[in-house]
Structure 1
Amino acid sequence: MRGGDPALIRAACLFGPLLATGAAAALHPPARRTIGATLLAGLWNAVWLPVVNLLAVRAGWWTFHAEGGTAAGLPLDLLLGWVLLWGVLPVLAGADRLPLPLVVAGLAWFDLVAMPLAAPVVRLGDNWLLGEALCVAAVLVPGLLFARWTLRRRRLVARAGLQMVLCAALMVGFPLVLVRPELPDTAAGIGLALQLLAPPVLLGVVALREFVQRGGGTPVPYDPPNRIVTSGPYAYVRNPMQLGIVLVHTVLALVTRDWRFLAAAVTGFAYSAGLADWHENAGLRALHGEEWTRYRAAVRPWLPRLRPWSGTAPARLYVAQSCGPCSGFGRWVAARRPVALDLVPAEHHPRRLRRMTYESADGTVRADGIAALGRLLGHLHLGWALLGWLLIVPGVRWFAQLCADALGAGPRDIPQVPTERPAASRTRGGTPGAPQRSVG
């Protein structure tokens, strides 16, 4: 296939988007949130564009023919230009003010024109439009949405989910691809590895969920929570996400016997405990003042507490007094002296309840049934909390609730009993059916 000069094509593919990006940044100096959106969209493209291109080469949609400056056969200059064009430039140029279909159509059209012109560096196959469609659907559109939601502070759950996928790809997927370690090849070895990885992964996922539900934000410094988060894993350890990543790398070092993962764990710990902790402490102290100072003094950054911090976000657990098994369960909870949890008769709730119900005092969390069980276990002890965090994972929660209902713990009518005193009144001691304030 004939075409232009390969060196000139590669230079144009890199320096064209690079100059356009520099001009956009100079004309419209980005604000703090714009920088965050640019970083997230750029990283999304940087992670998934190589993946789709490798798939395209394997499927025969197109191939690359370049000498030097390649990784796994992919020209790095072309990939970088692609990342800038699809991920960075639209955000800096203010494309979020335009309708999304228009931006997607414009960038996709430009790509459709540019791909054939990149010959002989890029040689297209008969079905190259399939690869182009996959790039648009899996890379371009999610990256643009990621940036728009971050800029506008919309779709909190969706953008937090995209952050989790991006973090997993960068922190776990990329090191595995780069190092190519010898993974366990037996069922027993794979099972052991998954069991060892489950607790740190669970810790990170639940901590992210807590950021979203209780804090109204995400872990990204440019997209932080509105409120300080001291519940869930944060009632036990101050850096659950960083701890989870360090433990994942440590487990990978053990199961693969590759010291490079251990080096990654040590590096991650050193960075988080040093520069990141210093920077975050200053910012959080300025934002939350004395509340952050008290929390920092009581909860360690890396070594979890056995019991949750007494200053964690308070909540109420409504347990039916008129139901024998329910009141017995209430006594079991009370005997374990839950921290920052009020036990209240379900009959005193303003609405008619049909399951055990958990409600946070700030109104951000309401859960019933198995989800309420998962939440309340976080107020007891670290061991129970791990089980509770597992129970609030959506798929596990649904299955556990199905099993509980099948075994007779399904919903039931709970009569309402009028009471003159507030349902949240707190007393020391008493029976599990009476309102009481837990001690911790």
Structure 2
Amino acid sequence: MSEFDYDLFVIGAGSGGVRASRIAASHGARVAVAEEYRVGGTCVIRGCVPKKLLVYGAHFAEDIHDARKFGWNVPDCKFDWPVLRDNVLAEVDRLEGLYGQTLDNHKVTVLRTRATVAGPQKVRLADGTELTAERILIATGGWPHVPEFPGSEHAITSNEVFHLETLPKRIIIAGGGYIANEFAGIFNEFGSKVTIVNRGDTILRGYDEQIRDRLLQISMTKGIDFKFNAPFESIEKNDDGSLTVMLEGYEPMQADAVLLAAGRAPNSRGIGLEEVGVELDDKGAITVDERNQSSVPSIFAVGDVTDRIQLTPVAIREGQAFADTFYGGKPTVVDYQNVPSAVFSHPPIGAVGMTEAEARNKLGSVRVYTSDFRAMKNVLAGRNERALYKMIVNAATDQVVGLHMIGPDAPEILQAAAVAVKAGLTKADFDNTVALHPSMAEELVLLK
């Protein structure tokens, strides 16, 4: 008999924790996972899944309008926020049930309670119960960063935005990253007056400059207002429930809601890590090696709490690699090169590999190919909105080292193209592929 209660104890039942638990159990390990909120984590409960459903809902605003150009006699339509909100939350409930069922089917013990680290191989539950495990895996994800300023308690984060009682007529969104730009597009299509305020002067830092400039241009054309170099001074709640927002260097603004989308921090504080000697960086991220092992040999971490690449599929890969390495006899290391990403803005962005600036800094000599065009659907609909595809090529080897796209269905197209970039294919390989016509994706093999 083992000297431990479990072979593996996982704290956090999000994407990474669920995958690690399920795979480790399938390899024969005795596994328990503790989750203090809901099984599924950020992505399923309050992140990419409900957000993408809101994105789908928002697209109908333009689709219904454009349908008239395609011969459909569409009457004026009214958007009903509570209907979409409640349907989305019901889908979240359904998915949570499936995640729980998956864990049950793999004989994983699910403890719906808070757990903290009480020792290198010991955890403590909220009721004081202590359990031992040969290995502990931290998969607690991230948490919205809330800047400190007077009245910040009157704002909401991406955790609460899915539960709004009413659709705000005026919403101020703080931040310049993907969360801010995605929700800006969503609420703008729903009919809210949207203002993005950013402490800096750049949106979507890390994405290719031409692509993010195109999103800024299109967003402004759609009516989204941007205020740059605008740190918060305060938020005051008025008698009628509205908010007065004071920004440094700007006149006071009135809003019905303020959404703080200024990034996410590793959710590592207050769970006993530092007390047992787990090393954290200055942002609170757990420092791990390529095997996801922390400075304490029996404690491991995967997902956003390690702040490597904050993407759900990356957390899943890390959870799988951990379980296969330590319980499946298949040592696995996650490859972080050429990880594709998307921004579900209006229109969406897809990207993989190096930006033009990164490629010039690293490779020196590069070739850049672009296609700037109107999607066929937009032409007939009378929309001037233009898509932009950009390919970065290593001039010395002809290898495609980056693809960046903004336009309808860009993420759907980019996923397949990312395989080619990951495989190290060349510009000639793209050129030698026959175009699929008429499609937007064919632009990738017609770049000159």
Structure-1-length-normalised TM-score: 0.26
Query: Which of the pair is proportionally richer in strand?
Result: 2
Q: Relative CO higher for 1 or 2, CA cutoff 8 Å, sep ≥ 6? A: 2
Query: Which of the pair is proportionally richer in helix?
Result: 1
> Greater Rg, structure 1 or structure 2?
1
